[in-house]
């Protein structure tokens, strides 16, 4: 028997959630559909007897967040891996990673495995390794090989082989470190018929851990069981920010309609599924097929959502009515921009602005709420294009607007453009992120607060004209151009949120934490600020008034926390060590002197 352990690294930066004023809510994450697909396929199609297990470190991170853990999380992840290896004796470990954010964990994961047993063959696959195979093999000495693209067929061939290293070196989809010098370029091996993947048994996961991705929160009070399905793979488009082609290619392959309906009915009847998440990259590639699936789903009396977004140009009155009948209460629209120039010449998306409003009106006619995804910050986008987008948002009247900053994901055209134009140095990307997250931003804000504590004249200036006072210290610019300082007192506690998207004073606080951008924080901070603060570990007297400030593109806020007792006579540098990022958002308090290391 051959044993394969799949490991999924955290999708999020653990430091955003596991400090003394950590975030209360970890963003929702979806079930590991790709791993479930490979488990199902390999169990049925391998000639060899295969035993597989799955370790999702996102679940471990969730537990640490819930426990308000304050120790070394990397040690917890490592012990979780060693414990699983002691009980399972895996010969192969496969690390599955989608995006850049998982890169920081992969080297530690494979090193733990090699330290435990040097004979373990460590593998990586998914969007990130597929696109950045050279960088990852060079920077992760404990990583043996990478699979390009989909893993069902390459893993089947590897596990059935008498000599796995022979397959790694001969197979077109595998690449090992020593093959980099020979300039081997791994190629895709696609599974053409998705019906060849047997139905999942879901035995390797606890479905309760993947039950909070639904976007329509008007149903959040109801008991539910969310489950996901990918009825197709591939997308014919090449949107500038998308890395999908590096994993699934541009040719769309589908499940049969009969298979889709059978799988969904089984999810409902055997697992109690009440909310179906259709996670296709382009569900409406074949519009007739999509409409027939919706007609079939209508008979199952479940709710249906499209968390990855749907093509706007596919929506008309007929489709909107089918949505409503199929239990679609909210639809995420992949609009991205309200400028035809950006859509067609920068993103290269086959969408015209004139089609957006009729689609929203069709949805509204059948009581389907509209969420819209907007991406800003693309190279070549100008102020006038963003102004067009803002006007489009006002004209169309979406129910929810989700604004994202363009990020150069490995495998996307945007990443290639940024490298070619010298916007980023690939070798310095992690260092850049680390700098904004931990070095420049929060430290700047801490210096401002410390000076306000130590210098009454500066404190008064800061409260009267935050922009000028902060600028005098050399901080500001871009997102820090219009800053207002809010002073916490025993009578009033200030708390900052951006209810629209994630407006945030980067120049003094660095990158916004993921929880700041999450829908639960953005809504609950306004509706129940005292409850949210309690979840952050901040319990205020009932006599303390809580004021919530809504940050905007034009106006950002910096909270000046109360100075801790026992710090009289301290220098500004020493005071700055007491100031945390969360205390400057208002979701935390300054550290007490005894809490310093």
CATH of the domain at 584: 3.90.330.10
Residue 380 lies in a domain: yes
Chain-centroid distance of CA 251 in Å reads 25
Q: Are residues 222 and 134 in the same domain?
A: no
Q: Are residues 407 and 456 in the same domain?
A: no
Q: Are residues 407 and 264 in the same domain?
A: yes
Residue 184 lies in a domain: no
Q: Are residues 473 and 580 in the same domain?
A: yes
- Of 392, 424, 456, which residue sits at a domain end? 424
**CA distance linking residue 62 with residue 38, whole number of Å:** 24
Residue 242 lies in a domain: yes
Q: Which helix (DSSP H) or strand (DSSP E) does residue 2 occupy?
A: strand 2-8
CATH of the domain at 76: 3.40.50.280
Contact partners, residue 298, CB within 8 Å, separation at least 6: 322, 325, 326, 327
Q: Are residues 167 and 291 in the same domain?
A: no
Count Cα neighbours of 322 within 13 Å in the Cβ-side half-sphere.
17
Q: Is 498 a catalytic residue?
A: yes
Catalytic residue (one of 101, 243, 502, 518): 502
Give the per-residue pLDDT at 518: 77
DSSP state of 300: T
Contact 143, 121 (CB under 8 A): no
Note the pLDDT tens digit of each residue in 202-246.
999 999 999 988 877 677 667 889 999 999 999 888 888 888 777
Q: Are residues 269 and 165 in the same domain?
A: no
- What domain range is 281 assigned to? 211-424
The answer on pLDDT for 186 being more than 80 is yes
Give the per-residue pLDDT at 596: 87
Q: Are residues 173 and 218 in the same domain?
A: no
Q: Are residues 236 and 358 in the same domain?
A: yes
Q: Are residues 234 and 341 in the same domain?
A: yes
The answer on pLDDT for 387 being more than 90 is yes
- Of 377, 402, 424, which residue sits at a domain end? 424
Q: Is 242 a catalytic residue?
A: no
- In the numeric block, which tokens belong to residue 124? 């990586």
Residue 203 lies in a domain: no
Q: Is 395 strand, coil or helix?
A: helix
Task: Count structural domains, the chain.
Answer: 3
Give the per-residue pLDDT at 54: 98
Question: What is the average pLDDT across 509-515?
Answer: 78
Note the pLDDT tens digit of each residue in 407-430.
888 888 888 888 777 776 655 555
Note the pLDDT tens digit of each residue in 273-298.
999 999 999 999 999 999 999 999 99
Per DSSP, the chain holds a count of helices (H) and strands (E) of 26, 18
Q: Are residues 441 and 409 in the same domain?
A: no
The answer on pLDDT for 6 being more than 50 is yes
- Of 424, 459, 475, which residue sits at a domain end? 424
425 phi/psi in degrees, rounded to 5? -100, 115
Residue 193 lies in a domain: no
Give the per-residue pLDDT at 94: 97
Residue 199 lies in a domain: no
Burial group, residue 269, by CB count within 10 angstroms (0-12, 13-18, 19+): exposed
Catalytic residue (one of 503, 518, 551, 583): 503
SS3 for 195-254 is: HHCCCCCCCCCCHHHCCCCCCCHHHCCCCCCEEEECCEECCCCCCCCCCCHHHHCCCCEE
CATH of the domain at 354: 3.80.30.20
Question: What is the average pLDDT across 346-356?
Answer: 92
Q: Are residues 140 and 242 in the same domain?
A: no
**CA distance linking residue 184 with residue 172, whole number of Å:** 9
Catalytic residue (one of 140, 412, 498, 518): 498
Q: Are residues 375 and 447 in the same domain?
A: no
pLDDT-based confidence at 462, cuts 50/70/90? very high
State the average pLDDT for the chain.
Answer: 90
Catalytic residue (one of 239, 501, 518, 583): 501
Chain-centroid distance of CA 53 in Å reads 24
The answer on pLDDT for 433 being more than 60 is no
Percent of the chain topping pLDDT 70: 94
User: Which range (146-150, 382-386, 412-416, 508-512) has the least confidence?
Assistant: 508-512
CA distances from 347 to 238, 281, 333 (A): 8, 16, 15
Residue 292 lies in a domain: yes
Note the pLDDT tens digit of each residue in 521-563.
888 999 999 999 998 899 999 999 999 999 987 789 999 999 9
**CA distance linking residue 460 with residue 94, whole number of Å:** 57
The answer on pLDDT for 570 being more than 50 is yes
What ranges make up the beta strands (E) of 106-168?
Answer: 121-125, 145-147
Give the per-residue pLDDT at 423: 76
């Amino acid at each position: 028997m051959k044993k394969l352990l799949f490991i999924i690294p955290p999708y999020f930066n653990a430091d955003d959630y596991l400090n003394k004023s950590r975030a209360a809510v970890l963003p929702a994450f979806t079930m590991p559909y790709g791993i479930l697909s490979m488990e199902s396929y390999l169990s049925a199609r391998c000639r060899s007897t295969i035993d597989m297990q799955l370790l999702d470190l996102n679940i471990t991170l969730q537990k640490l967040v819930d426990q308000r853990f304050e120790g070394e999380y990397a040690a917890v992840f490592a012990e979780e891996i060693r414990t699983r290896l002691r009980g399972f004796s895996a010969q192969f470990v496969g690390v599955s990673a989608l995006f850049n954010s998982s890169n920081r964990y992969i080297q530690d994961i494979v090193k733990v495995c090699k330290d435990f047993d040097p004979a373990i063959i460590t593998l990586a696959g998914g969007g990130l390794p597929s696109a950045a195979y050279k960088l990852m093999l060079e920077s992760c000495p404990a990583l043996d090989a990478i699979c390009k693209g989909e893993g069902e067929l390459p893993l089947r061939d590897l596990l059935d082989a008498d000599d796995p290293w022979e397959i790694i070196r001969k197979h077109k989809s595998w690449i090992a470190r020593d093959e980099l010098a020979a300039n081997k370029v791994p190629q895709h091996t696609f599974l053409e018929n998705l019906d060849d993947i047997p139905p999942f048994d879901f035995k390797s996961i606890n479905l309760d851990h993947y039950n909070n991705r639904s976007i329509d929160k008007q149903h959040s009070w109801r008991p539910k069981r969310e489950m996901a399905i990918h009825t197709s793979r591939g997308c014919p488009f090449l949107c500038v920010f998308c890395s999908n082609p590096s994993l699934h290619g541009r040719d769309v392959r589908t499940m049969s309609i009969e298979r889709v309906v059978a799988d969904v009915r089984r999810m409902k009847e055997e697992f109690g599924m009440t909310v179906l998440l259709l996670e296709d990259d382009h569900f409406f590639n074949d519009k007739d097929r999509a409409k027939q699936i919706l007609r079939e789903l209508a008979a199952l009396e479940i709710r249906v959502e499209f968390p990855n977004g749907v093509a706007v140009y596919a929506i008309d009155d007929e489709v909107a009515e089918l949505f409503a009948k199929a239990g679609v209460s909210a639809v995420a629209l992949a609009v991205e921009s309200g400028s035809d120039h950006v859509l067609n010449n920068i993103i290269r998306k086959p969408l015209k602005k004139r089609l957006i409003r009729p689609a929203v009106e069709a949805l509204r006619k059948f009581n389907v709420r509209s969420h819209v995804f907007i991406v800003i910050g693309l190279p070549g986008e100008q102020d006038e294009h963003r102004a067009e987008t803002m006007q489009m948002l006002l004209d169309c009247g979406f129910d929810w607007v989700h604004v994202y900053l363009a990020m150069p994901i490995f495998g996307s055209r945007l990443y290639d453009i940024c490298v070619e134009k010298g916007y980023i140095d690939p070798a310095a990307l992690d260092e850049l992120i680390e700098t904004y997250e931990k070095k420049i931003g929060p430290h700047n804000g801490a210096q401002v607060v410390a000076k306000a504590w130590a210098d009454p004249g500066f404190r008064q200036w800061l409260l009267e004209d935050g922009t000028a006072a902060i600028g005098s210290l050399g901080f500001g610019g871009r997102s820090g151009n219009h800053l207002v300082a809010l002073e916490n007192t025993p009578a009033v506690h200030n708390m900052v949120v951006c209810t629209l998207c994630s407006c945030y004073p980067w120049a003094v606080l660095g990158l916004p934490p993921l929880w700041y951008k999450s829908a639960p924080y953005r809504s609950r901070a306004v509706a129940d600020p005292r409850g949210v603060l309690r979840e952050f570990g901040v319990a205020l007297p009932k006599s303390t008034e809580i004021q919530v400030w809504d940050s905007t593109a034009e106006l950002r806020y910096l909270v000046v926390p109360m100075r801790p007792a026992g710090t009289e006579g301290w220098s500004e540098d020493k005071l700055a060590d007491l100031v945390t990022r969360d205390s400057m958002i208002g979701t935390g308090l300054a550290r007490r002197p005894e809490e310093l290391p």
